[in-house]
Copies of this chain bind each other. A is one copy, B any other.
Amino acid sequence: MSTPSETEAAAGEPAASPKTRIRIRDAEATRTRILEAAKREFARNGLGGARVDVIAEKAKANKRMIYHYFESKEGLFQTVLENAYLDIRAAEQRLNLDNLDPRTALERLVRFTWDYYLKNPEFITLVNSENLHRAKHLKKSELVAATSRKLVSMVGGIVERGVAQGVFRPGVDPVQLNITIAAIGFYYFTNRFTGTIIYERDLMAKEALEERLSFNIETIIRLVSA
């Protein structure tokens, strides 16, 4: 979100020579601007539909720089995608669900997932694009798989605690639960355009969003309750 350069600039370090700072900053800042512009463009048009020229222009960078930093359009997409996954996984970890009572923890996760999709719509389109390409790029990333494991075990822990406390029923597979939590939010957003036509309802209206979130929490709680 915030460019490292801005952060650095804000922090100050008046003793450092300006020369050094600006040089380092420019390179890193350019890279970041490219990534940000690429995320938008890929999200809006998919991998195939995205235009390298547009990315360069929006990033206020030279097209050549994209190839310098990311080798190819696909290399850029891969980095954008990986970052997107790492970002949501990191945010999930920051929820500290392990310290909450199981029911609250689960509700909080459903709510977080919903909000994340709502505020980061690019994530959804990026994932869709990647699936159109049969996860060709994600396959190369070990980091994403490793980080995802933590999420599953976190949910597994919540379920276990719930069962131990007698509030959750036994036998709920954490992976299936995870998938369902994601599904009921993801589907709603990814299909919001066709959904608006099919269901003849503005799915993105404020009340519609609130109603759906409540429905989703209800769905998950009922699913696991003893």
Contact = CB atoms under 8 A, between A and B. Distances in A.
Contacts of A219: 180, 219, 223
A179 B213 CA distance: 12
A145 B179 contact: no
Interface of A: 45-46, 48-49, 85, 125, 127-128, 130-135, 138-139, 144-145, 148-149, 152, 173, 175-176, 178-180, 182-184, 186-188, 190-201, 211-212, 215, 218-219, 222-223, 225
B152 A197 contact: no
Contacts of A180: 184, 215, 219
Given A46-B132, A48-B46, A183 B187 contact: yes
A195 B212 contact: no
Say what secondary structure dominates the interface of chain A.
helix
Given A144-B198, A199-B178, A223-B222, A131 B190 contact: yes
A128 B191 CA distance: 7
Given A132-B46, A219-B219, A145 B190 contact: no
A200 B140 CA distance: 14
A132 B138 contact: no
Tally of this chain's copies:
4
7 contacts: A46-B46, A131-B193, A133-B193, A144-B198, A173-B215, A179-B199, A179-B212
Contacts of A176: 211-212, 215
User: Top 9 closest A-B pairs, CB basis?
Assistant: A183-B187, A135-B193, A48-B49, A148-B198, A176-B215, A222-B222, A134-B193, A183-B183, A131-B193
A194 to B, nearest CB: 5
Nearest to A139: B197
A41 to B, nearest CB: 13
Contacts of A49: 46, 48, 132
Contacts of A198: 85, 144-145, 148
Nearest to A169: B222
Contacts of A85: 198
